[in-house]
Amino acid sequence: MTLQSLLKPRSIAIIGASSNATRVGGIPMDLLLRAGFERLYPVNPKNTEIQGRACFADIESVPEVVDVVLLAIGADDVLAYLERCHARGIKAAIVFAAGYAETNEAEGIARQEALTAFAKRTGMRVAGPNCMGNANFNDNVFTTALLTQSGNMCATVYRMARRAGVAFSHVINTGNEADVDFADYLAFLAEDSATDAALCYIEELRDGAAFLKAAAAFRAAGKLLTVYKVGASEKGAEAARSHTAALAGDSAAYDAAFAATGVARAAELGGLADLAYLHGFGSKIAGSGCAILSVSGAAGAILSDALALNGGTVPTFPESVQAPLRESIPAFGMVSNPVDLTGNLVNSNDFLFEAVRLALSPDDVDVLIVFLPGYFLDRALEQLQRAAALAAKQIVVVDTFALGDRAKLAAAGIAYFDDFDRAARAICTYGAWKMGGAVTLKPTAAKASWPAFPVGEPALSETAAKEALAAFGVPVVHDALVHSEGEAREAALRIGFPLVAKLVSPDVAHKTEHGLIRLSLKTADDVTAAYNAMVAKAQSMPNVRIEGVTLEPMLAGGVEILAGVTRDPVFGWMLTVGLGGVWTELMKDVRHRLLPVDAAGAEEMLCGLKGFRLLDGYRGAPKADAAAAARAIAALCDAVLAGGERLREVEINPLLVLPEGQGAIAVDALVLLNEAAQPEVEKAA
Amino acid sequence: MTLQSLLKPRSIAIIGASSNATRVGGIPMDLLLRAGFERLYPVNPKNTEIQGRACFADIESVPEVVDVVLLAIGADDVLAYLERCHARGIKAAIVFAAGYAETNEAEGIARQEALTAFAKRTGMRVAGPNCMGNANFNDNVFTTALLTQSGNMCATVYRMARRAGVAFSHVINTGNEADVDFADYLAFLAEDSATDAALCYIEELRDGAAFLKAAAAFRAAGKLLTVYKVGASEKGAEAARSHTAALAGDSAAYDAAFAATGVARAAELGGLADLAYLHGFGSKIAGSGCAILSVSGAAGAILSDALALNGGTVPTFPESVQAPLRESIPAFGMVSNPVDLTGNLVNSNDFLFEAVRLALSPDDVDVLIVFLPGYFLDRALEQLQRAAALAAKQIVVVDTFALGDRAKLAAAGIAYFDDFDRAARAICTYGAWKMGGAVTLKPTAAKASWPAFPVGEPALSETAAKEALAAFGVPVVHDALVHSEGEAREAALRIGFPLVAKLVSPDVAHKTEHGLIRLSLKTADDVTAAYNAMVAKAQSMPNVRIEGVTLEPMLAGGVEILAGVTRDPVFGWMLTVGLGGVWTELMKDVRHRLLPVDAAGAEEMLCGLKGFRLLDGYRGAPKADAAAAARAIAALCDAVLAGGERLREVEINPLLVLPEGQGAIAVDALVLLNEAAQPEVEKAA
């Protein structure tokens, strides 16, 4: 269902319209009249005329079925009035009233649930409640949309962006999102031909899948989607949750979601405006390789540091660029990039023009940053204008004196910042966004199926977990579950030595400490002795059920990694990959991705680990079979996607990565289950 | 030698004075006349009057011996004129001319060396060359000094700080620092009663020891020293070096130097001004524990994130604070910190006043941040003023709408920022600076002495290295150097088993690969067999000198760490501590400090490692003897300080840290030597 009538209405009725232009029922009247909106119908039984327009007693008297109705009435009266609007055939409404779920009180929560149910039942699209509403500036020049989950931040970003010279097509504050949610708006904007970029302030998303789809649509259309997300810190997350009363998604899942869909993420709120500002210059920025021309050696050094910190590069110029620069710059000026133009700038009418041309010529330069303090800018402007007119790449002027004429530069297609770090952050984030490829959210065909999940159990046994994953193509260490000394001897001779024996019991947590895991068993007699000793030990412990003993080959060599898939409440399945033990626990050296993940994606994750060199033939060790590990991880992901709602978490730890050509093998696996949704039915089946 | 006459002159002569107030010889005349400076003497043989003052033909004609002479003449004429000034008895000069070392050409470098030599010989203090000079605003209200190594950044920071409301007592651009260097100015400012804070832009320091001393003097006097240092990235460092032509110090050494002296380091150039601005409010900020009052849940979340990112805390309020807040805030407002005041603010004349009092009351709150969008500020001002008048802690208002009256707030002692992230960075950096203790740069008494260093050798042998360190109290694995099968047997029985045997030769690099290291020798026969096999193997290799075989006990268990001391060209000896192997190589998990480092300092470094938990009883392993490791590292530092100029680098790798109570022991040590400065003399001795 499109949001066309909500966001681009041709006719509007305002219930509770007011003559006072500072009140909630008067503000939208005033703004819409100023904007020259014609088919506007104030509704208020107490008036016959409001702000110069004929006023109607009720929605039934309004002479047309309007596209959208604005409800400027108290929460108690909203639902009844919405029913009347629905009866009249109206398809969209905006509810300003507070007093819903944001109160964190039973009455308000129930009121919001009723509103949501109404929207579901009738198909009417309801924006809010507890929102500031939307603005749509009908002007084709402005193509940036602002979409926020906070009224205050809506106003803050709006002001920041206006200062940066960004003008908006749509300004939307989503409020409580009882019906129309963040992703709905985003999906509309992705298809809206008048929108070329969206600036978003996000606290918590309700519908992760819909967000991912809308974000992918932005990317596919080449539209900029830039996001500032709060909640990176514990206190910030707590405050955001309290504010929105939404599901608490994992911060890592948001990171993974934004990475997966190529969202341009602003590290600071002000960065949103800067990214939209850069985007407004068109598509001349292809990456974040920067050339720097500066009249100050210091500024070149500061910009180089700031670019490196933000992931940009300052490639050294080839001699074909350095040589001609050297001819016109004194020996003390650097020409390798950054270029220290020295004061020479003012002595020639073509020096800067020529320097710009040279600096932009290397293939690894995507953007040129020119540091010109305000007092130089006037003298340099004409040369810059000429150079920009010929350049296929973006020129950005940085002037820490804040004296530049932003409009004059913009007219020449030149961007302008008055701060080193803001410029570097914006250029690097924008360049990285541009380098991102198309997003494919491809579904995977199930290659196998899970066996029936046991009802009432919180987990599969290790043996069952490994066998289930093996069906999807995960290489596993097969173990034998034995129940007698004789079975143990027989299985041991079949598996070969050395091997490991483990007592199986759901009731013992630290098996090693209790002597219930025995390593390096080298003969059948070792195995039977271990079997008997472990069973005797377990029998001597109170309340320990013995399910048997597993035997498995003891593997030597290789590098241990772990791969786990957990379910995020907002975005669904997320894969975590890391090296085993201390690497993950102490160094937090892990990578996350949302599913689906294929083998190529899994290998990228492994390569992204700081400790990847441990897999790559570190200190003369054999190179590990990372490709095989990646295939095993991809198979794990396929298995999880095929597993459905009963799966809670699946982990392989360790996945032993053997030397190249020898594969990777899951030594242990964990499959945690959710409570069955309908245990009675399952039991009956 | 004080810089009094340079920085606070009572009389000034300007050589090359000009009537044109935009030229280098006219600008200082103009500025000094405007400032009402009286004892000012323009010198120019071509004029009899300049800018309304009598002009003198030469320095000899000036009627008094001025405190400082400004040379606005070309580089070719500077030295000769300085000689005349010296002959006249003048003690200080400022040289504006360029054409010195900054040209990176032989002529300019020689010219600068001559200038340095002149200053050394005569004792005259010479500022510059290639500088903009200094400004001294004789007003007791302004107590902040600006000290930069770049003219452009001097002007940039000056403008940024003026916008932030900071006014300066001194503005100094140090130029090439041929004589008076950065640390000289800093030492003067540390003692200058009119200076309460210094903002510094640094590219490279020439005299690290003098900087450390001056920085410690700032700390001791409670004066703020805040620094922005370029060169964190490779390209940034290259550009900075090219710009200053100074010694290239290690970036880690700068970090260590700033940490050692408690410098408040600005992460961005603009941060300098923000720190000075906060300092201007006096000493009400004791740390970076922040309470947040906000009329927007979003703003509270954003500020919490930004504070956490910058090392600040947002402590949860005790119930004694939450309970009274809860009474006057609707249920949907958070009261635990951050506090969401909701729109309630405008309904009472005492609500905000009371909320401020409550929020400031917990001991772990150092600063209160109040987020008030501009349109609320007017209504809230009176309550804030009343609250601030009673508060012993600092109140900071953040208004992202930039509508606040900074001056009115400042008058009430309230600081003001219009950006979340700048506010968070400034508060956290300033709070951390305030929490820093006094700096003690204590010399250590040599506890022992090194044996005579071998002349012409680049390193000590492992045995000699360990014995030398042992003399200073480093526990080492003593090895026995043996030269025959019989000596080997005898030494082995003395040392005990198991042990390790290594062939000693300066000519073999990879001893393990050649079978010249044998581990786990368990009996005397094992040892003699190994001895004979290794000697035979070495004899079979071409050009291998055999110096003997060492035997040492083979230690088991413990955690391996490394401790190395290297010499930074600017700051001298720097200690690096890390866990062994991959921790240091792949994860760069190391800590650095400048010497001296005592055992307490070394233990702080170990505790600061991400992998410290490996020493702290990780996964049931015994806790390692970190205290003993720290004592061993401190002994290493004492040894290095006693070693003098011949030492180039000293490293213990590994230092084996045994379980608690069992100590730590240096298994291997490396002592690299510099070329002897006067090898002939040493040979003769």
- Chain B residue with CA closest to A148: the answer is B298
In A, residues 415-444, which contact B (CB 8 Å cutoff)? 419-421
pLDDT value at residue B371:
94
Chain B touched by A366 (CB under 8 Å): no
Is the pLDDT at B142 greater than 70, yes or no? Answer: no
**Contact residues on chain B for A230, CB-CB shorter than 8 A:** 298, 301-302, 305
| pLDDT tens-digit map of B319-339 | 999 999 988 887 667 899 999
- Average model confidence (pLDDT) for chain B? 89
Question: For the residues B389-407, what does the mean pLDDT come to?
Answer: 91
Using a pLDDT cut of 70, give the percent of chain B over it: 95
**Contact residues on chain B for A314, CB-CB shorter than 8 A:** 235
Least confident window among A219-223, A535-539, B677-681? B677-681
pLDDT value at residue A641:
94
Question: For the residues B122-150, what does the mean pLDDT come to?
Answer: 80
Give the dihedral of Cα atoms B661, B662, B664, B665; nearest 10 deg.
Answer: 160
CA distance A70 to chain B (A): 22
**Contact residues on chain A for B332, CB-CB shorter than 8 A:** 102-105, 108, 242
- The DSSP line for A118-165 is HHHHH--EEE-SS--EEEE---TT--EEEEES-HHHHHHHHHHHHHTT
**CB A489: neighbour CB atoms within 10 A?**
17
Give the SS3 label for residue B322.
helix
**Contact residues on chain A for B230, CB-CB shorter than 8 A:** 298, 301-302, 305
pLDDT value at residue B244:
62
pLDDT value at residue A68:
93
Is the pLDDT at B241 greater than 70, yes or no? Answer: yes
| pLDDT tens-digit map of A6-59 | 888 899 999 999 998 888 888 888 888 888 888 999 999 999 999 999 999 999
How far does CA B642 lie from the centroid of its chain?
Answer: 24
What gap in Å lies between CA A46 and CA A65, rounded to an integer?
Answer: 22
| pLDDT tens-digit map of A227-247 | 999 998 888 888 887 766 555
3-state secondary structure string across A358-416 = HHHCCCCCCEEEEECCHHHHHHHHHHHHHHHHHCCCEEEEECCCCCCCHHHHHHCCCEE
B206 against B246, higher pLDDT: B206
Do the Cβ atoms of A159 and B613 come within 8 Å? no
Which of A103, A301, A582 lies nearest to residue B243, judging by beta carbons?
A301
pTM of the model: 0.87
Chain B touched by A509 (CB under 8 Å): no
CA distances from A472 to A94, A450, A637, B229, B387 (A): 49, 9, 9, 55, 66
pLDDT value at residue A336:
92
- Average model confidence (pLDDT) for chain A? 89
pLDDT value at residue A240:
81
CA distances from A281 to A285, A395, A411, A430, B665 (A): 9, 10, 10, 12, 63
Question: For the residues A237-259, what does the mean pLDDT come to?
Answer: 79
A551: amino acid identity, one letter: L
- Chain A residue with CA closest to B589: the answer is A587
How far does CA B189 lie from the centroid of its chain?
Answer: 18
Strand partners for A673 = A647
pLDDT value at residue B678:
55
Which of B237, B239, B269 lies nearest to residue A297, judging by beta carbons?
B239
Position A683 confidence tier, pLDDT thresholds 50, 70, 90 = very low
ipTM score for this prediction: 0.87
CA distances from B599 to B604, B605, B670 (A): 9, 10, 21
Position A138 confidence tier, pLDDT thresholds 50, 70, 90 = low
What gap in Å lies between CA A113 and CA B511, rounded to an integer?
Answer: 76
How far does CA A229 lie from the centroid of its chain?
Answer: 9
- Chain A residue with CA closest to B270: the answer is A419
Is the pLDDT at B443 greater than 80, yes or no? Answer: no
CA distance A664 to chain B (A): 22
pLDDT value at residue B568:
93
Do the Cβ atoms of B103 and A419 come within 8 Å? no
Position A680 confidence tier, pLDDT thresholds 50, 70, 90 = very low
Do the Cβ atoms of A334 and B242 come within 8 Å? yes
Do the Cβ atoms of A269 and B421 come within 8 Å? yes
Do the Cβ atoms of A155 and B338 come within 8 Å? no
Is the pLDDT at B486 greater than 80, yes or no? Answer: yes
**CB B645: neighbour CB atoms within 10 A?**
11
pLDDT value at residue B189:
93
Is the pLDDT at A264 greater than 70, yes or no? Answer: yes
Do the Cβ atoms of B150 and A296 come within 8 Å? yes
Position B138 confidence tier, pLDDT thresholds 50, 70, 90 = low
**Contact residues on chain B for A231, CB-CB shorter than 8 A:** 301, 305
CA distance A149 to chain B (A): 9
pLDDT value at residue B420:
95
pLDDT value at residue B273:
93
pLDDT value at residue A141:
54
In A, residues 136-155, which contact B (CB 8 Å cutoff)? 149-153, 155
pLDDT value at residue A347:
65
| pLDDT tens-digit map of A624-665 | 999 999 999 999 999 999 998 899 999 998 999 999 999 999
pLDDT value at residue A681:
44
Is the pLDDT at B682 greater than 50, yes or no? Answer: no
Chain B touched by A251 (CB under 8 Å): no
| pLDDT tens-digit map of B505-537 | 878 777 777 889 998 899 999 999 999 999 999
| pLDDT tens-digit map of A29-40 | 888 888 888 899
Is the pLDDT at B151 greater than 70, yes or no? Answer: yes
CA distance B578 to chain A (A): 14
**Contact residues on chain A for B419, CB-CB shorter than 8 A:** 270
Chain B touched by A129 (CB under 8 Å): no
pLDDT value at residue B680:
45
pLDDT value at residue B1:
47
What gap in Å lies between CA A603 and CA A664, rounded to an integer?
Answer: 13
Give residues with Cβ within 8 angstroms of A273, minimum separation 6: A157, A160, A161, A163, A164, A166, A199
| pLDDT tens-digit map of A413-451 | 999 999 999 999 999 999 999 998 767 766 667 778 999
CA distance B149 to chain A (A): 9
| pLDDT tens-digit map of A145-194 | 899 998 888 889 998 888 888 888 889 999 889 899 999 999 999 998 88
Bridging pattern class, strands A40-43 and A12-15: parallel
Give the SS3 label for residue B513.
coil
Using a pLDDT cut of 70, give the percent of chain A over it: 95
Is the pLDDT at B72 greater than 60, yes or no? Answer: yes
Using a pLDDT cut of 90, give the percent of chain B over it: 58
Closest to A80 in 3D by CA, of A127, A118, A112, A44: A118
- Chain A residue with CA closest to B612: the answer is A586
Do the Cβ atoms of A611 and B586 come within 8 Å? yes
Least confident window among A82-86, A481-485, B82-86? A481-485
| pLDDT tens-digit map of B203-223 | 999 899 999 999 999 999 999
B457 against A91, higher pLDDT: A91
Question: For the residues B558-583, what does the mean pLDDT come to?
Answer: 91
Question: Contact B190/B160 with Cβ under 8 angstroms?
Answer: no
Question: For the residues B568-587, what does the mean pLDDT come to?
Answer: 87
In B, residues 174-213, which contact A (CB 8 Å cutoff)? 201, 203
**Contact residues on chain A for B158, CB-CB shorter than 8 A:** none
CA distances from A1 to A5, A67, A185, A604, B68 (A): 10, 14, 11, 38, 80
pLDDT value at residue B457:
85
CA distance A584 to chain B (A): 11
A379 against B475, higher pLDDT: B475
Chain A touched by B156 (CB under 8 Å): yes
- Chain B residue with CA closest to A611: the answer is B586
Chain A touched by B262 (CB under 8 Å): no
